[in-house]
Structure 1
Amino acid sequence: MEREKRLKMKKLETGHLQQFNQLLRYVFQVTKQDLQQVGWEEREITLAKLPVLEQADVLGWFDGDKLVSQVAVYPFQVNIFGKIFAMGGLTGVGTYPEYANLGLMHSLMGQALADMRERKQSISYLYPYSIPYYRRKGWEIISDKMTFEVKDFQLPKSRKMPGEVERVQIESPAVRAVYDQFARQSHAAMIRNDLAWEEYWRWDPEDMTAAVYYDEGRRPSGYVLYWISNEVFHIKEMVFTHEEARRGLWNFISAHVSMVTKVVGTTYTHEPLAFLLEDADIKETISPYYMARIVDLELFIAQYPFKPQAVERVWRFKLNDPLLSWNQGLFTIHVATDGSASLSRGGGPVEAELDIQTMTTMLLGYKRADYLAKIGRLNCNVDVVPLLDSLIGRQIPYFSDYF
């Protein structure tokens, strides 16, 4: 009890940088050897996290002057069905083991979510180090990462393209321009600000290269970020805004056939690469990637673009949220013919019951209402599933960032 009386929650400032970094290093088991493998020096990794304390909202529990538990929220934006939403990116979550089981992280998350609501960040993303833990806090899986391995003899044959590929530095404005265009047409993608780009590059090898596809009008329309080591072509990310750029980039990759034995990489589109290759017998694995949770349902629904309808639609439901009282209770959504909507409390007989995790993954299009109803995550009347199916877009979430 004496220890608990000493504990105080407060915001971290730049003067707490060393303690912030030490707690991160301890919790995520980052060793000096890990830093050296990606070319980092001790002082560099500490200074690299300075923008977090300068630009993010960082909360911590202190035992006297000692930081013992912390969570950070980045000010990000994401594209949800063509609308830009303010998103709170939760990261830096950690507590020293001797302070475990005191409810410190539970209270930090509750306060962080309340602060997100104040800042009009109606949705939060995070990378889960424990999916069950974050599910209990209201987050749910909303995107996948697919890894693939293509042997050298399976690489696609070169096709004549009107454009051309040029190798550039990864900081090239062309890379950012292509990604921004891609993100604004890709559901659930990050709209990267400077802080997002810094996080995106943080743990990459120093010999990362970018190859940009320029179309016939010299407009950048695709890129591949890659490095080559031990006769393996590693793809960090391939982005393209049209099919021509995709084929042009694969021409470039296939041109390395005499240098590499295989190509390995990741994709986040939920579309298997195998179908696009002549030799489709490649190795592919899929795994859950990012999680999200709606922070403020009322604000989220006011921003959310439902599909346009011939007539106004109404949906009444009961929502459960393990942390946030303002997301708990009986609600009614009114959807206008143009797809705009509003949320109100109460409103007649309940047609469905679900939790905030299910609501999040459904509205982001990762899982459809019919599937969620079938597995018991959405308890509803028989006419609710076709209603939701007509209201919610069908794009698969894309998210390739890491923070």
Structure 2
Amino acid sequence: MEIRQLKAEEFEQHMELSSYAFQYKLNAEEIEQSRQLFKPERVWGVFEDGVLQAQLKLIPFQTYIQQQSMEMGGIAGVATWPENRRQGLVDQLLRHALQLMKQQGQSVSFLHPFYFPFYRKYGWELYTEYMQYTIPTALLPAKVQTDGYIKRGVRDLELLHSIYGQYASQYNGTLVRDIERWTNATLRSDDTRTAVYYANDGQAQGYILYTVLDKEMNISEIAYTTEEARRGLWTYISNHDSMVQHVKLKAPLDDGLPYLLQDPRIEQQKVPYFMARIVDVKAFLEQYPFEHGTTGQLTIEISDRVAEWNAGVWQIVWDADGHATVKQMESDEDVAQSANDVQVKADIRVWTAMLMGYKRPSELSRWEQLDGDEQAIQLLEKLIPRRGTHLMDFF
């Protein structure tokens, strides 16, 4: 068995395994489009005698965390032939990917799981959910008059990108997009329509991406930088009431839509979405923007059975600028001494959920997933900024 990156001439093997594992079929035109977008250096495979047995994609991304961008490794397309399952091939690929991400400075990783318990074994944890709304036209928000105006069909990627960046950076775990992402993923389909809200002074303040088909308006993305833009976009959506029977929308958990509706009895579903994992604890903590003005020191213990470089006892010191200095206790004498001083213990999954902002320290302590004294828990509550999670992309 050999683990290596794919070669350009191995595209057919890659597509054959992907289409079988994920149960889809492409026509000739779609296959050619996929070939043009194929980046073999991002696909790692397990080979036996030159034949691909299992694969995964490791995609370089950046993500917003506490309004700062961090390098992130996206795991996608994990697949193996059914006759090769339960032979440890995916295990080897995931462990290899973690080592690669650490080497490449990607201190955190995201993936969309086929099965949450499987990836929890490897240290990934749920970090974001979204609300799926289905709104009958009779219950859409009331139409209001705003000072601005809407333009349909805007494909100015720089303009959309600017609005997206302002909106997405309010959350932890959104992607820092580039123009390639807009072109090859977000707006890849010609069926995706756009509408942009402009203030009276001509400043673009919000947009929606959507489709209208078979009396359904499906909004794949909504972003805005002002309350005026939010109201203007929803008035535009409500103006489709003669064309559609209902509107579907994915939204962050804190969007407040039911409260803002005159009648909130709409279909609402909270959907678990992506998982995250801290790849390199030291690098992640030293990049993480903690709350300013709160200083402190903690000795923590992290368990991580897959990325052994994270496991052990760590001392963390925070300065007033929110910067952490992190030191691992490595010598037997230091470990023995610091073990008596450990104030908080948890698995890497728990640290990930907490530092991503998905769960608060006090919650995790109450559920006995974060083991620590009350003073230490309260220090973490002060140090970790309150910022929700969201992800508008899929990969």
Q: How do 1:72-83 residues align onto structure 2 when only pairs under 5 Å count? A: 72-83=57-68
Please, which of 305, 316, 320 is the counterpart of residue 333 of structure 1?
316
Tell me the CA shift for residue 197 of structure 1. 2.9
The answer to whether the 8 A contact 1:318-1:352 is kept is yes
- Give the deviation of 1:67 after TM superposition: 0.8
Moved more, 370-379 or 176-185: 176-185
Query: What is the CA deviation profile of residues 70-120 of structure 1, one whole-angstrom value per residue up to 9, with x for unaligned ones?
Result: 111111101100111011011111111111122111111111111111111
Q: 2:357 corresponds to which residue?
A: 365
**Which residue does 2:287 correspond to in 1?**
303
* Mapped partners of 1:119, 1:290: distance in 2: 22
* Partner SS, residue 383 of structure 1: helix
| Identity in percent | 32
Aligned position for 1:397: 389
Q: Which residue of 1 aligns with 2:28?
A: 42
Match of 2:374 among 369, 377, 382: 382
Preserved contact between residue 51 and residue 195 of structure 1 (Cα < 8 Å): no
> 1:79 touches 1:85 (CA, 8 Å); kept in 2?
yes
Q: Structure 1's 133 and 46: CA in aligned 2 closer, same or farther, altered over 3 A?
A: farther
Deviation at 1:171, TM superposition (A): 6.0
How far apart in 2 are the matches of 1:150 and 1:280?
9
Aligned: 1:279 with 2:271: no
Aligned 1:1-400 pairs, distance under 5 A? 7-32=1-26, 41-48=27-34, 50-53=36-39, 57-170=42-155, 172-198=157-183, 200-201=185-186, 206-310=190-294, 312-346=295-329, 348=338, 349-400=341-392
Task: Report if aligned partners of 2:157, 2:182 keep a CA contact under 8 Å in 1.
Answer: no
Q: Cα offset for 1:180?
A: 2.3
Kept in 2: contact 1:170–1:225 (CA 8 A)? no
Give, in angstroms, the shift of residue 249 of structure 1. 0.2
| One-letter code aligned to 2:78 | V
* 1-structure distance, mates of 2:67, 2:168: 9
User: Deviations for 1:264-289, whole angstroms, at most 9, x for unmatched residues?
Assistant: 11112443421111121111110111
From the superposition, tell whether residues 389 and 61 of structure 1 become closer, same or farther in structure 2 (CA, over 3 Å).
Answer: same
Distance 1:376 1:208 in 2: 45
- Tell me the distance in 2 between the aligned counterparts of 1:179 and 1:49: 29
TM-score (normalised: structure 1)? 0.91
Q: Is the 8 A contact 1:225 1:238 kept in 2?
A: yes
Q: Output the CA distance in 2 between the equivalents of 1:373 and 1:364.
A: 16
Contact 1:177 1:220 in 2 (8 A): no
Task: Give the 3 Å change call, closer, same or farther, for CA 261–146 of structure 1 in structure 2.
Answer: same
Does structure 2 conserve the Cα–Cα contact (< 8 Å) formed by 1:298 and 1:343? yes
Instruction: Give the Å deviation of 1:183.
Output: 2.4
Contact 2:173 / 2:391 at 8 angstroms: preserved in 1? yes
Change (3 A) 1:45 1:183: farther
Q: 1:283 to 1:136 in 2, by over 3 A?
A: same
**Residue 66 of structure 1: how far off its partner (Å):** 1.1
Distance in 2 separating the partners of 1:61 and 1:391: 42
Q: Which deviates further from its counterpart, 179-188 or 81-90?
A: 179-188
Distance 1:199 1:64 in 2: 34
SS in 2 for 1:309: coil
Could you tell me how far 1:319 is from its partner in structure 2? Answer: 0.4
Farther off after superposition, 205-214 or 135-144: 205-214
Q: Shift in Å at residue 172 of structure 1?
A: 4.3
Letter aligned with residue 340 of structure 1: H
| Higher deviation after alignment, 162-171 or 367-376 | 162-171
Following superposition, the deviation at residue 199 of structure 1 comes to: 5.5
- Residue identity opposite 1:48 in structure 2: S
Contact 1:17/1:53 (CA < 8 Å) preserved in 2? no
What secondary structure sits across from 2:99 in the alignment?
A: helix
**Do the aligned partners of 2:208 and 2:222 also contact (CA within 8 Å) in 1?**
yes
Amino acid at match of 1:376: E
For the structure 1 residues 382 and 49, does the alpha-carbon distance in structure 2 shift closer, same or farther, using more than 3 Å as the test? farther
Letter in 2 for 1:174: L
Unaligned runs of 5+ in 2: none
Cα shift at 1:260: 1.3
CA distance in 2, matches of 1:361, 1:211: 35
2-structure distance, mates of 1:253, 1:172: 22
Which amino acid letter does the alignment assign opposite residue 177 of structure 1? S
